Structure 1
Amino acid sequence: MKFTLKDYQRDAVRDALDNLKWARQAWHSGNRPHAFSLSAVTGAGKTVMAAAAFEALFNGDDEFDFDADPGAVVIWFSDDPSLNEQTRFRLMEASDRINHTDMVVVENTFNRPKFNARKIYFLNTQKLGKNSLLVRGHDQAEIEAKAGNLLPDTRPDLRAYTIWDTIQNTIEDPDLTLYLVLDEAHRGIGSPTTASQNNKSTIVQRLINGSGGVPGIPIVWGISATVERFNRAIEGAVKRIKLPDVVVDSNKVQESGLIKDTILLDIPDDVGDFDTVLVRRGADKLKASTEAWAEYAKQQGDSRKVVPLMVFQVPNTPDPTEIGHALDTIYARYPDLPAGSVAHVFGERTMQRFGNRDVVYIEPQRVQDSTWVRILIAKDAISTGWDCPRAEVMVSFRAANDRTHITQLLGRMVRSPLARRIPGDERLNAVDCLLPRFNRKTVESVVDALMSGDDTLAATPGRILVNPVEMKPNLSVSTTVWEAFEALPSQTRPQRGAKPAKRLTALAQELADDGILENAGSKAHAVLHAALDRFQDSHQDKIKAKRESVMTVDGKTVVADLKGKAKTLEEFWEDADMAVIDDAYRRAARALTPDISRSYVEHLANQVASVEEDPEAFLEAIVEARVTVAGLGLVTEIEAYFDAEAESLARAWLIRFGPQIKLLTDDRKESYRQIVEMSNEPQDVDLVKPEAKFEPTTVREKEQETLLPTWKYHLLCDEKGVYPAVLNDWEREVVETECKRKGFTFWYRNPQQPGQSSLGIAYIEADQYRILRPDFLFFAEEDGKVLVDLVDPHGLHLSDALPKLQGLAQYAETHSSSFRRIESVAEVKGKLRALDLTRMDVRQAINAATDAVSLFSGTLANDY
């Protein structure tokens, strides 16, 4: 892969490959068809995950412990040829082990008896329609009348095989395995079908269930943000076994920074026609976004600045004059916008006249890279399947009852333009949507749809705010307070199956690329080679025995005496051939990583012979070294020992070169942040000063809208120096109490959303690591020093109350020196009680507890 997979992507690929392996074995052993789905929110990188799975399917993968399927054939199916083209481009962009020639677009001229192994074929609904050249005969009406339900068997003119013949022949070839991947799997499914309804089934259902003598495709993989329709169709399919779904946790996607954190909705405050007002506001937002991204690129010294786009959404039967007037308004408000910056994606695909402006058509998949397009006029086509990472602003002229189109389009706009979160600046991690024709009540339904999702739209992670106000750093806060804030240790969520050696080599690559440590890769390998040498010295007898077991294959021969009707077993020993040695070496390489295994083999061989002076002796030494590594891999203690050595060096380098890493650009720092997170233990990361954050200023209950209470002395504030916040009774009492303490200066409401400005603490629940984000940080001055108190009001009624408390105790065990106080506060019998987690006896009691209530009720807690 050209990209490093996020941890949730790696987990999803591993689970998908497990399903594919099981389904392949079941098909070839008993012709049993299987299906499963992968669901992930828009922006999670479903195509990248698919690319990693295809690489393993065609070539095998040691990291995922997956053997290649030499007869694998993949059909990638969608209902849009342009969407297929975008997917094909993304697969080429992501994969370095699948050639572009192995990604075949099935055109109308396609004519083969079978699909070729190790290739991905792109098909779409139109290519399988009855009028397509791929299935159509010479006299279509006559053939349809004669064929009835057997239409897939008909032969088109001048063609030896229909596409249905090709599919059938591929399925029936025992050396091939046909996999069907349904992109946007919720579309084209229709309602669940039965055998008696085959004549009415959709094309997708024909592929799944079979039709007209053509069997259903053996292995079906549905990919979508929402897979409910797909799953219902599979459950109603004939004799098809459904495997466990692969579900990507949307919270982990949000943590990754691949999708934007906030959707800002602007609506009129009163009923009336506010088109012009909000169009002007949209132009202002586009201009502000453009300037913000240009300033960020300048600050980072990055020539690849983001060029923001406004999506202008219109009804299916738009008024050209009205659109022209809106464009005039935008240009009047933003005169620096180049004249030829407008394009459309209407289905007509021809130049359109809006007012006095001629606007050209552009293919949707070209919009992202065509940075000359600054305003894109769309109906509803772009809401189904297209991603617009640089789309920062949307103005919708859709009617108030078109909330589905609004929510679907917003789902396409949530990708982060740089595929990472911008530290501390929510302006650059947000998308603006202006709805001049919506009232407040209808917008609430949009918010509900985004937050809950439906069978065509996944719930949107992150925050959705209506008419918010921007908060900026409080000018009264001193530099020393911000320095204390940024020095606080936040924690990352550990990654399942993280390999310390892989983390070390990735770190070495980045350090070398940034000129921080010359030849870092070679130095890392040298340290690990020396560690393996020491292990060999201290485990000589074990390694010798394991090495001999690699070199010989033992077994038993059954000898049957037919006359005496007796059986005896005769043992035998044979020298292992290279295939056996290679297999043992590969198993060892999974523990030591293939890269380190290869370099250690060369290290051992170079101690015996020189490739320049005696090539034959060197080759023999290579074979011997591979046997040694294979034997090493069979020693039980090697993996833990090797991982500890790699982890130790990675930690040392991160500490040693931390100051230099902090001076790099955000893009480069993000690479190191991802490496820090490549660990199976929580890792410490610094907080980042927030430069901008959006907050709502009103709350609506039924038909009544009221202003939120505001608070002073917050680290972030509006122009009036106050911070709006809804606090429950516990939180209000905590804030009021802490603000009265001696030396108090400022407070910070820790965001509950992921980001570098939110302090996170790892905890374990149900054998999985999660992140707790404590509610409050309070800052005080004492003897000229800035001290920090962490106070977390803690609900005891939830099932995760104790695991969170134990995670906080573990954090306090390691980081109590960074705080003056670490307290968890909870209500027991109408009274607030506090546990001081800086006390060892309190932490020990928490770790041994079976419930949280008894802790706050007991003598270890104090009245708050």
Structure 2
Amino acid sequence: MQGREAGKATTIMQKFLKGSSEDNIPPMPVVIGMSATTQRFNILVEGTSSTIHKSVVSADEVRASGLLKDRIVITYPEERSVNNDMAILQAAADDWKEKWDHWYQYCYEQHYAYINPVFVIQVLNGSENKMSATDLDDCLQKIEERTGFCFETGQVVHTFGQTNASITVNGIDVRYEEPSRISDDRNIRVVFFKENLSTGWDCPRAETMMSFKHANDATYIAQLLGRMVRTPMQMHIQVDDVLNDVHLYLPYFNESTVKDVVEALQSAEGGDIPTDIYGESVGCKTFETLTVKTRNKKEDTPVPGQLTLDVFGSQGEDSNVGAIQIVEIPSGIGEAADTSEPIGFSNENGYARVYQQKPEEQKVDIQSQAEVSKVNDHKSDVYDLHLASNIDRQEGSLKDEPDDLFDREGVMKFINDAGLLSYNVRSLRINNYLKSLFEMAHLLTISGLYREAIREVQTEIALMIADYVEKLKLEGNYDELVNQVKEFKLVTQIFDAFGETVDNYSVHDLFTTTDTDIDRQFRVAEVKLGNEGIGMVYGNKHIDVNNPSAFKVDVILFVADDECMNNLHNYAQKRFHGLNDDYRKYIATVDSDKIRRKYDSIVSDGDIVSKHNFRLPETIQVPHEDGGKEYNNHLFVNDITGVAKLKLNTWEAGVIEEEEKRDDFICWIRNPSRASWALCIPYEIESETKPTFPDFIVVRKDVRLGYVIDLLEPHNPYFKDNLGKAKGFAEYARQNPGVGRIQLIRMIKDAAGKHKFKRLDMSKSAIRDKVSHAMTIDELDHIFDIDGFFE
């Protein structure tokens, strides 16, 4: 269907789809097409007489499914830089090592099989004498230096088309591997390839890619990157946002040619791809990782006898940090034995020399993943290590890191345990309620929150069947309906011994009762009941030993009655929502990301607007914006600096300034509209349900609870969605009485020309009632005039 053959192929395909009288080909009775680029298929079926039914899946729905990465980040060198390739490779290795560490931690804590992310490196073609124009030995050496890994045979493979033999790279055997087998081999860590991974290749474990290709290969690289956007676990990672992106490094591209890759990816690889694509230069990171788990200077300060080093933070030939020698001096030797200072510094021969007092009964515990070379001396033990980045060699002292202003992890735990509602808004409902009910009951049973859930649901449906059968018997209709189920129609024609008709081809119908077809009808009925064994649950309680197939007929009769099935689905809808409302707050406390993800999936597939637990991750990634302000009271901060650099507009910054002045203020969170973890509230506009994301989540002190959570939305009064959002916030406040303030905020200019912020608080029942009954934006403006207030 591509290139010069596209026209011929289209003609041939249309003959099959539409039929061709000259070739004696009838039209296809049913054709199912599925594609991310539907234009070609639509052209193909133009002019057909068949009815075309379209089922459109929006990009937002694909994003919400968690099947694709949230972001593609493309890194390229800064302008005018030279010798880019190995410097970029080192940056790519750092990213891969970070992914490796984060995946390891996540899988360990959640009890998943380890992902083992793959580092994919596209090298240049070679010549007759060289396998590749790229220095493979240097590549592998640089990766080992940056990551601390010492690769073994089998962990590095190649897919070079010109040979299926092993090659030697940096002293280790690098075998050939079929591209299709890479994803399943968990031992593979690094893949060298040239051209053969772009079409038909799929490896969700490929998290980082480096390409030595040049800028004229933008389309090819876009095709390759399209193979890497699938998520390894087929879901968003809730607790660690670092794991929701894929990273591409291009040393021979610049800002302009990276745009070509983006355009090629968005056009050739699927149009409106539901993954955000960003470009960044090496010196200017597009995203910054923020966390609630910050380092504390009191915790990081070494104590006598112990030093913890971050070995991966300072390795590599570009590092400007030297080595450190830790010298342990036994008690009683020299002046160090009499001093109370645990650590002192001097600088000898390019080394920072650390003297540490060592009482005879005390052993120094050096915690490090780096190799420690020990040199025995008559007076001391000397260890050569890389100096951790939190030691300033020039100043000769530990860098002063800010203490946390508040218990960040404690605040996050309070929010996650609060059971706040967040919603998922879809354009269509995927499951019927019966299937959703069974999935919810199974999840509650497996999680241990309600072990009898599935058994009770099965019993309740079986009781509905029993009540229906009893009703038929009381009305005197049961026996007649049973005979209809058992009747089997035979069609007969009579011929003589020579094949001649005896009665001019007359057709004779014979009706008989038989059990032969009952099993088939029973299986069909079980499918309509959700394939959950409902029929057997009913049979176990109502079986007649003298008529063992009677219970099967009862089930068949129940399913054949439209009123019964309508009642069943109404029951399923009510029971599903009841279980969700009763156990939603407990799901939030389950220490399993897998259970929480399954719960969210079940609820999302059950309703167009579905209720979920709002739950914060431990780590998020935020776009790096020039001109941002540093905040140390944002819940998520850089783990080293203790601040978050965020760029707010005038309205947003003004609201945060007012909040910071409150005596009970603790911290705030920016609630990004596109983040998978963000708190979402549904609202109605022009008869359509849409999602909205309040700008800020604010946490304040509370005398009884410890903390209270507010939702604040600075919003332009001239936007047409004002009334809809106000009503949405009012309804959210009604359903979440545990929330503090839920405010719609407008910036007002007073008589002196100074900007002030007027607030309308939906947590107040009187205001909430007025907003709920407002019909026009003018009515909402009037409510703001009467009930709005300034802090």
With normalisation by structure 1, the TM-score equals 0.64
User: For the residues of structure 1 that align with 2:721 and 2:234, how far apart are their CA atoms?
Assistant: 32
Aligned residue number for residue 107 of structure 1: none
| CA contact 2:445–2:452 (8 Å) conserved in 1 | yes
Shift of 1:629: 1.4
| CA contact 1:687–1:759 (8 Å) conserved in 2 | yes
Find the partner of 2:59 among 247, 250, 253: 250
Find the partner of 2:411 among 463, 472, 481: 481
Would the alpha carbon gap of residues 851 and 411 (structure 1) be closer, same or farther in structure 2, given more than 3 Å must change? farther
User: For the residues of structure 2 that align with 1:797 and 1:347, how far apart are their CA atoms?
Assistant: 61
Shift of 1:285: 2.2
Secondary structure at the counterpart of residue 267 of structure 2 = coil
Would the alpha carbon gap of residues 544 and 448 (structure 1) be closer, same or farther in structure 2, given more than 3 Å must change? farther
Find the partner of 2:70 among 261, 265, 286: 261
User: For the residues of structure 2 that align with 1:826 and 1:818, how far apart are their CA atoms?
Assistant: 24
| CA contact 2:682–2:728 (8 Å) conserved in 1 | yes
Query: Are 2:636 and 1:823 equivalent residues in the alignment?
Result: no
Secondary structure at the counterpart of residue 422 of structure 1 = coil
In structure 1, the gaps of 5 or more residues are 1-186, 554-573, 699-705
User: For the residues of structure 2 that align with 1:711 and 1:449, how far apart are their CA atoms?
Assistant: 38
User: For the residues of structure 2 that align with 1:794 and 1:802, how far apart are their CA atoms?
Assistant: 11
Q: Which amino acid aligns with 2:288?
A: V
Find the partner of 1:232 among 19, 37, 43: 43
User: For the residues of structure 1 that align with 2:465 and 2:180, how far apart are their CA atoms?
Assistant: 50
Aligned residue number for residue 548 of structure 2: 618
User: For the residues of structure 2 that align with 1:546 and 1:454, how far apart are their CA atoms?
Assistant: 63
Q: Which amino acid aligns with 1:693?
A: I
Query: How large is the RMSD of aligned CA atoms in angstroms?
Result: 4.2
| CA contact 2:226–2:269 (8 Å) conserved in 1 | no
Secondary structure at the counterpart of residue 717 of structure 1 = coil
Find the partner of 1:223 among 18, 34, 53: 34
**CA displacement 1:367-403 (0-9 Å, x = unmatched):** 1002232222233442333221101111111212333
Would the alpha carbon gap of residues 216 and 289 (structure 1) be closer, same or farther in structure 2, given more than 3 Å must change? farther
Aligned residue number for residue 764 of structure 2: 839
Paired residues, what number?
631
Query: Are 2:422 and 1:491 equivalent residues in the alignment?
Result: yes
Shift of 1:752: 1.7
Find the partner of 2:249 among 434, 437, 440: 434
Would the alpha carbon gap of residues 667 and 605 (structure 1) be closer, same or farther in structure 2, given more than 3 Å must change? same
User: For the residues of structure 1 that align with 2:769 and 2:224, how far apart are their CA atoms?
Assistant: 51
Shift of 1:278: 1.4
Secondary structure at the counterpart of residue 226 of structure 2 = helix
Shift of 1:671: 2.7
Aligned residue number for residue 602 of structure 1: 539
User: For the residues of structure 1 that align with 2:775 and 2:474, how far apart are their CA atoms?
Assistant: 43
Shift of 1:352: 7.5
User: For the residues of structure 2 that align with 1:523 and 1:650, how far apart are their CA atoms?
Assistant: 12
In structure 2, the gaps of 5 or more residues are 295-403, 486-510, 750-754
Query: Are 2:188 and 1:188 equivalent residues in the alignment?
Result: no
| CA contact 1:763–1:803 (8 Å) conserved in 2 | yes
| CA contact 1:315–1:397 (8 Å) conserved in 2 | yes
Aligned residue number for residue 781 of structure 2: 856
Shift of 1:798: 5.7
Query: Are 2:182 and 1:373 equivalent residues in the alignment?
Result: no
User: For the residues of structure 1 that align with 2:686 and 2:202, how far apart are their CA atoms?
Assistant: 35
Q: Which amino acid aligns with 1:493?
A: N
Find the partner of 1:743 among 651, 657, 664: 664
User: For the residues of structure 2 that align with 1:632 and 1:208, how far apart are their CA atoms?
Assistant: 39
Find the partner of 1:287 among 94, 97, 109: 97
Secondary structure at the counterpart of residue 713 of structure 1 = coil
Find the partner of 2:455 among 514, 522, 525: 522
**CA displacement 1:427-478 (0-9 Å, x = unmatched):** 222222222222233334444555xx21443333344443222212254331
Q: Which structure shows the bigger proportion of residues in helix conformation?
A: 1
| CA contact 2:96–2:207 (8 Å) conserved in 1 | yes
| CA contact 2:69–2:246 (8 Å) conserved in 1 | yes
Secondary structure at the counterpart of residue 291 of structure 2 = strand
User: For the residues of structure 1 that align with 2:475 and 2:186, how far apart are their CA atoms?
Assistant: 60
User: For the residues of structure 1 that align with 2:564 and 2:18, how far apart are their CA atoms?
Assistant: 49
Secondary structure at the counterpart of residue 548 of structure 2 = helix
Would the alpha carbon gap of residues 592 and 546 (structure 1) be closer, same or farther in structure 2, given more than 3 Å must change? farther
Q: Which amino acid aligns with 2:576?
A: E
Equivalent residues in 2 for 1:658-673 (5 A)? 658=586, 662-673=589-600
Would the alpha carbon gap of residues 854 and 653 (structure 1) be closer, same or farther in structure 2, given more than 3 Å must change? closer
Q: Which amino acid aligns with 2:107?
A: A
Larger Rg belongs to: 2
User: For the residues of structure 2 that align with 1:631 and 1:802, how far apart are their CA atoms?
Assistant: 47
User: For the residues of structure 1 that align with 2:525 and 2:760, how far apart are their CA atoms?
Assistant: 48
| CA contact 1:234–1:240 (8 Å) conserved in 2 | no
Identity %: 27
| CA contact 1:274–1:436 (8 Å) conserved in 2 | yes
Would the alpha carbon gap of residues 851 and 296 (structure 1) be closer, same or farther in structure 2, given more than 3 Å must change? same
User: For the residues of structure 2 that align with 1:246 and 1:381, how far apart are their CA atoms?
Assistant: 34
Q: Which amino acid aligns with 1:309?
A: V
User: For the residues of structure 2 that align with 1:776 and 1:546, how far apart are their CA atoms?
Assistant: 63
Find the partner of 1:708 among 613, 624, 628: 628
Shift of 1:520: 5.1
Secondary structure at the counterpart of residue 247 of structure 1 = coil
User: For the residues of structure 1 that align with 2:44 and 2:747, how far apart are their CA atoms?
Assistant: 48
Secondary structure at the counterpart of residue 329 of structure 1 = helix
Would the alpha carbon gap of residues 448 and 723 (structure 1) be closer, same or farther in structure 2, given more than 3 Å must change? farther
| CA contact 2:696–2:711 (8 Å) conserved in 1 | yes
Would the alpha carbon gap of residues 372 and 511 (structure 1) be closer, same or farther in structure 2, given more than 3 Å must change? same
| CA contact 1:748–1:776 (8 Å) conserved in 2 | yes
Equivalent residues in 2 for 1:381-392 (5 A)? 381-392=196-207
Find the partner of 2:728 among 807, 820, 825: 807
Secondary structure at the counterpart of residue 786 of structure 1 = strand
Would the alpha carbon gap of residues 651 and 510 (structure 1) be closer, same or farther in structure 2, given more than 3 Å must change? closer
User: For the residues of structure 2 that align with 1:395 and 1:423, how far apart are their CA atoms?
Assistant: 27
| CA contact 2:424–2:612 (8 Å) conserved in 1 | no
Aligned residue number for residue 686 of structure 1: 613
Secondary structure at the counterpart of residue 377 of structure 1 = strand
Shift of 1:765: 5.5
**CA displacement 1:629-682 (0-9 Å, x = unmatched):** 1465435862365225633663487369x37x8444322443333334453375
Query: Are 2:151 and 1:337 equivalent residues in the alignment?
Result: yes
Equivalent residues in 2 for 1:112-131 (5 A)? none
| CA contact 1:398–1:437 (8 Å) conserved in 2 | yes
Shift of 1:417: 1.0
**Farther-moved stretch of structure 1 (495-504 vs 709-718):** 495-504
Would the alpha carbon gap of residues 743 and 274 (structure 1) be closer, same or farther in structure 2, given more than 3 Å must change? same
User: For the residues of structure 1 that align with 2:722 and 2:483, how far apart are their CA atoms?
Assistant: 55
Find the partner of 1:401 among 183, 204, 216: 216
Secondary structure at the counterpart of residue 104 of structure 2 = helix
User: For the residues of structure 2 that align with 1:491 and 1:373, how far apart are their CA atoms?
Assistant: 40
| CA contact 1:744–1:781 (8 Å) conserved in 2 | yes
**CA displacement 1:809-830 (0-9 Å, x = unmatched):** 2211110x22221012346899
Query: Are 2:567 and 1:638 equivalent residues in the alignment?
Result: yes
Secondary structure at the counterpart of residue 598 of structure 1 = helix
